[in-house]
Amino acid sequence: MDAVNPDAQRVVRAEIVDSGPSVDEVLAAVRHPAAGAVSVFVGVVRDHDGGREGVVRLDYSAHPEAAAQLAEIAEEVARMPGVQRVAAVHRRGELEVGDTAVVCAVSAGHRGQAFDACRALIEELKARVPIWKKQLFDTGSTEWVGL
């Protein structure tokens, strides 16, 4: 482990990307011989939001510091009990219904630790990382979320 930042080896990916993310790559990144469990969250674009039907596309935008904020959250999660490795990848740009928007994965010694850490990772990502989405509806109207 890194002597300056002991969590550096545990956070294997914390990125904002223009394509992907690959569930298989994120899952492979968190594998660890001491981990008896891996929990994965995959967020996909749905055809409705906030009680409104007809979403056809999203356009995600990210603040220039979004990746650094995501890395900070991943480091916090890496310090949770039993956690071995942490990865989180969020997409930016245009996505269609059914596309993968975010993948989070955590490996830990036991399933409860993995579940708790993965849930904390996605919840903190959604609450703190400056990523916004513009929704396009089948009517041609748009709506910004997260501003």
102-139 confidence digits (pLDDT tens): 999 999 999 999 999 999 999 999 999 999 999 999 99
Q: Cα torsion at 91, 115, 108, 129 (round to 10°)?
A: 30
Its pTM stands at 0.91
